Amino acid sequence: DCSERSFLAPMNAHSHVKKVIGVVSGKGGVGKSSITSLLAVLKQRQGYQVAVLDGDITGPSIAKTFGVEGTQIYSNGKEIIPAVSTQGTKIMSTNLLLENAEDPVVWRGPILAGMIKQFWSDVQWGEVDYMFVDMPPGTGDVPLTIFQSLPLDGIVIVTSPQELVSMIVSKAVNMAKQMNIPILGIVENMSYVECPDCGHKIYVFGHSHLKDVADKYDLNILGQLPLDSELTKLSDMGAIEEYQSEWLEEFDKQVKDL
Ligand code: ADP
């Protein structure tokens, strides 16, 4: 029965995570990792102790975005010490375990799922108010296992304008409902571009279907976010914690209650 959830044994004795939020998407490339990172940055700025578990094992980008790629990860044989960003966010990602960050991850499903479970149970997270889990994209075997084994308090669905016109969102919604995991809201990423001269919003993909989809599945809209080259630039530089913008302030208000 795929709706059954059996949580992993409590994490190691030195860790206590108050809230675990999964960030999901239908496909790769819609900005799931970027939104995971921004949610973490916003909560950290609010004064919380934050952690990011990079569960997007085959396309891990969290370590790079936070500038901790290449950090030496220590283990005492039982527990793994996570990397810590400039602003104090704790991070664990497969990229930190690869000798060369550009090496492809070629493991099969069960190993991938096992890896994420281990990130949960063997990393010494310590005291954490918010843990954001960058979930593997899609609704296949690996995300299913993670859904079933991590005690997620809720999920945030990240979509692109094109995904909103397909059946992809309904799959993610149905999966969460089957597992009885609350859907905290939906984010449309790369929705528009703002003209740097006059501020006019250009909806490159045409009229947004965000509201229709949110109404259909009774979802809370958490944000409609632009394509912003400054965000890409800072992410590539490993400096996402420095990112500021008007739209991020708006987003911050929307996600305050998460
Ligand atoms: P996913 O996790 O869904 O595969 P990513 O978050 O890795 O997607 O985003 C894919 C690429 O698009 C990255 O280079 C990222 O920096 C960029 N990107 C994502 N969202 C935005 C945005 N709103 N504005 C500009 N670039 C973005």
Closest ligand 1 atom, residue 34 Cα: 6
The answer to whether 30 is annotated as binding is yes
The pLDDT assigned to 124 comes to 92
Q: Is 78 annotated as a binding residue?
A: no
Mutational test site, ligand 1, from 25, 232, 248, 251, max ligand atoms within 8 Å of CB: 232
- Inside any domain, residue 178: yes
For the chain, how big is the Rg over CA atoms in Å?
A: 18
Mean pLDDT (10-residue bins), the chain, 258 residues = 65 82 92 97 97 90 94 80 96 84 71 85 94 91 86 95 86 90 96 93 92 95 97 98 97 95
Question: The complex's ipTM?
Answer: 0.99
226 located within any domain: yes
Is 33 annotated among the ligand-binding residues? yes
The answer as to whether 216 is a domain residue is yes
Residue 131 belongs to a domain: yes
pLDDT of residue 157: 96
Coil, helix or strand at residue 20: strand
Instruction: Report d(CA 207, CA 189) in Å as an integer.
Output: 14
Question: What is the predicted pLDDT for the residue at 96?
Answer: 87
The pLDDT of residue 200 = 94
How many domains are there within the chain? 1
Q: What is the CATH number of the domain that holds 199?
A: 3.40.50.300
Evaluate whether residue 6 is within a structural domain.
Answer: no
Place of tokens 């703002």: 194
Nearest-atom index, ligand 1, CA of 27: 3
Which pLDDT does position 11 carry in this prediction? Answer: 64
Q: What is the DSSP string of 6-19?
A: -PPPP--TT-EEEE
In a domain, 137, yes or no: yes
Residue 3 lies in a domain: no
Tokens of 61: 């980008």
Cα(40) to ligand 1 centroid in Å equals 15
pLDDT score of 117: 86
pLDDT tens per residue, range 89-124: 999 998 888 777 677 766 777 777 888 888 999 999
Segments forming the whole domain that contains residue 218: 16-255
